[in-house]
Structure 1
């Protein structure tokens, strides 16, 4: 009789499970956008609530009926395009060859980096246009957030590099020049009903054992040693602990991507979605917001980067849904 087997405990696809270098997520891949516009936008996670909407999925057994949906509210204050970054040819696309910075940068930006006191933007634009002809391979936009406009008690902005959609590099360049130094709203990037990817750093849980971290089975009570550990650390040879052995260590605080989150609502009036007394540990929504179906990685107040869906679903509704009620009851308890 063949020996029984079962899949290993925990996926090795996310190893090594170590702490993220920064709370600011790093986006390493972008979809191929057809229109010339930004493909991503940052925001701050305010919290979760629930709404009632009309189910518009064709194959759903509750189609046309009112259903309850948990949603995440992300506050998205406008960002400012502070610089244009030009990358080299396709063979050297990972090396930035020049940058063009905006004039009259925000004073809060000095909390993040040193800004030049004397800067000739015209000379930088002239140099960039010369490089676009033969050496440039891509054009991206550097933006910084404005946390002062949100309910966060912080002043230091985050600087992110966002991809510009479209194929001709000159079209990207013209879009970047027009946006340089100006505010960009989330409504300029996304639409209601569309799907996005939410990228953020998850909630940190510190050091955990193999049972909590990998899901290994708790051993019987008659074992001589501890019960909440692995039965063996591996074979005699090779004389080392292999990477596939579940061990204790850091759990949480990892960068993760949650794919295909539907934008159910976008608005400028935060009172529409703010609970009585404000969101727990966040407060009221003061600026534009995005309502996503389901949960997103990270804790309250954490930076979440929204990106146009890399692998969009097929056969799903992409038009704005009909929302009948938004739960704004108090979350303060008592």
Structure 2
């Protein structure tokens, strides 16, 4: 073993052990940021619901040695609906976050059921000529100690784990029934795409737009928390365009009026007008 010419680190981080299902679909917040009495009064935790994903076009200032340029960047974003919560015994505040602020997302991942070691831990498949299976761990341990160590990859349940993602940047705050036009896109439209978000529908309450993807399927309840490890670097955020085309298939039209103007009047509408 000491003379081999290849490196084979272990598969699967032991930091996530035990890999078992979460006790509750709405996990509580285990840690809060330290109170700073110089800041304004604010909420450090809030319940929300995952809606779906879309993409936006934003500008970014790129600084080189000789000059400064502005580039357009396409970012994937996640829409999170934040309906009003009923709070007893404390004072509630309207705004729980600000644009360009970072939030932590706590939730439960998608459940995958019983899975093998290749999908669960990413171990290497055996060669084609191997006996008694290919998608297996070749050796699960020595003769002694006469037991299987807990660090060995084994088949079992995958998914529905409690996970925390840190520093998700807030791109936009708004209401699902209000207009989201930008300085560069003056189209009258709401955040709900054509046909609604798959497996969710329409956004009718306040929402938060976060950069990138977050854990869990649509309709999954998640907890938003003020960042425990705030980042010091921040850049000015300018969103030029928010995509509202259909998320079912390959959408190309942003609004129903745009689609109707392209295809013209329908045959059924012609028949109704003649009658």
Q: TM-score, normalised by structure 1?
A: 0.65
Asked if 1 retains the 8 angstrom alpha-carbon contact of 2:100 and 2:234, the reply is: no
Partners of 1:245 and 1:69 lie apart in 2 by 38
Q: How many residues align?
A: 232
Distance 1:243 1:57, change over 3 A: farther
Asked whether 1:38 is paired with 2:40, we answer no
Asked whether 1:50 is paired with 2:50, we answer no
SS of alignment partner, residue 81 of structure 1? coil
Equivalence for 1:70: 76
Partners of 2:135 and 2:175 lie apart in 1 by 50
Distance 1:231 1:193, change over 3 A: same
1:305-320 correspondence to structure 2 within 5 Å: 305-317=223-235
Equivalence for 1:291: 209
Asked if 1 retains the 8 angstrom alpha-carbon contact of 2:81 and 2:207, the reply is: yes
Partners of 2:210 and 2:3 lie apart in 1 by 48
Partners of 1:270 and 1:46 lie apart in 2 by 15
SS of alignment partner, residue 197 of structure 1? strand
Q: 1:303 aligns with which of 199, 209, 221?
A: 221
Asked if 2 retains the 8 angstrom alpha-carbon contact of 1:79 and 1:184, the reply is: no
Q: CA deviation at 1:184?
A: 4.5
1:212-223 correspondence to structure 2 within 5 Å: 212-223=119-130
Asked if 2 retains the 8 angstrom alpha-carbon contact of 1:43 and 1:303, the reply is: yes
SS of alignment partner, residue 290 of structure 1? strand
Q: CA deviation at 1:209?
A: 0.2
Distance 1:299 1:269, change over 3 A: closer
Equivalence for 2:3: 2
Partners of 2:117 and 2:26 lie apart in 1 by 28
Q: TM-score, normalised by structure 2?
A: 0.79
Equivalence for 2:162: 255
SS of alignment partner, residue 79 of structure 1? coil
1:1-334 correspondence to structure 2 within 5 Å: 2-3=3-4, 4-34=6-36, 35=39, 36-56=41-61, 64-83=70-89, 176=90, 179=91, 184-185=93-94, 187=95, 189-270=96-177, 272-317=190-235, 321-333=237-249
Partners of 1:327 and 1:199 lie apart in 2 by 26
Asked if 2 retains the 8 angstrom alpha-carbon contact of 1:54 and 1:63, the reply is: no
Structure with higher helix content: 1
Unmatched 5+ stretches in structure 1:
84-175
Q: Deviations over 1:92-140 (max 9, x none)?
A: xxxxxxxxxxxxxxxxxxxxxxxxxxxxxxxxxxxxxxxxxxxxxxxxx
Partners of 1:277 and 1:233 lie apart in 2 by 50
Asked if 2 retains the 8 angstrom alpha-carbon contact of 1:73 and 1:291, the reply is: yes
CA RMSD of the aligned region, Å?
2.1
Distance 1:296 1:233, change over 3 A: same
Q: CA deviation at 1:2?
A: 3.1
Q: CA deviation at 1:56?
A: 4.8
Partners of 2:217 and 2:109 lie apart in 1 by 7
